Amino acid sequence: MKRISCIVSLSLTFLFVKAQDLPNFRYIRIVDASDFNESTDKAALQAADYILSIPPSPKNKTWASASDYLLNWMAGTPKYTFTLDETGAALIKKDANIMLAYMSTLVKSQLEDTSSIPNTKKVKLNAIKKLIAYANNPSNGIKISGELKKMIEANNKGELEAYLKLKNE
């Protein structure tokens, strides 16, 4: 019983410490092009990391705030371009949570590997791989069906890049 209490206490402590590392996204100004800088880029990466670290939680205020910030940052950043192509559209047909996870993986792919910025094929491939890892984690509760299921199957066969038709684009 003492072990369980200790584990629960440590887990809660870790969650509170981790939550304190996040900025208060509501107070970060991202209205004008001049508002976007290294600090707002870092906050976008933190938002993406947070979104991908837990199951979709629209009722969780921190998750909702991180989601709003991420989408607003993506729409306004002059340094990066995010487009929702046919692959992304096929992924999100029935599930907005998949869309947010996909957008988060796009942000992570661009911000973590700035050498791939001009290479949208590489960014997209890396983002899909990150999305597959997120969806395959049972604790995230993602319903795998449709296009996502096909992508996972192609990835398992080592054919994801061909499936996404990235080689010939």
Q: Region 66-89: what's the mean pLDDT? A: 90
Lowest mean pLDDT among 5-14, 44-53, 107-116, 128-137: 5-14
Q: Which two tokens stand for residue 137?
A: 């984690």
Measured CA to CA, the distance from residue 123 to residue 125 in angstroms comes to 6
Cα–Cα distance, 133 to 153 (Å, whole number): 13
Q: Provide, rounded to the nearest whole percent, the portion of the chain with pLDDT above 70.
A: 83
**What does the pLDDT read at residue 13?**
46
Q: How many whole angstroms separate alpha carbon 126 and alpha carbon 20? A: 29
pLDDT value at residue 28: 93
Q: Which DSSP state fits 115? A: G
Tell me how far apart the alpha carbons of residues 71 and 143 are, in angstroms, rounded to a whole number.
22
- 103 or 16: which leads in pLDDT: 103
CA–CA distance, 41 with 43 (Å, rounded to integer) = 5
Instruction: Assign 53 a pLDDT band (cuts: 50, 70, 90).
Output: very high
* 29 CA to centre of own chain: 21
| pLDDT greater than 70 at residue 129 | yes
What's the CA gap between 129 and 10, in Å, rounded?
31
Query: CB-hemisphere CA count at 13 Å for 64?
Result: 4
- Residue 55 confidence (pLDDT) above 70: yes
pLDDT of 42 above 80 = yes
> Per-residue confidence at 63, pLDDT binned at 50, 70, 90?
very high
Distance CA 29, CA 77 (A): 12
By C-alpha distance, which of 122, 130, 133 is closest to 164? Answer: 122
- Residue 119 has φ and ψ, to the nearest 5°, of -100, 85
- What is residue 166's DSSP assignment? -
Which among 3-12, 20-29, 153-162 has the top mean pLDDT? Answer: 153-162
Residue with tokens 């509170």: 16
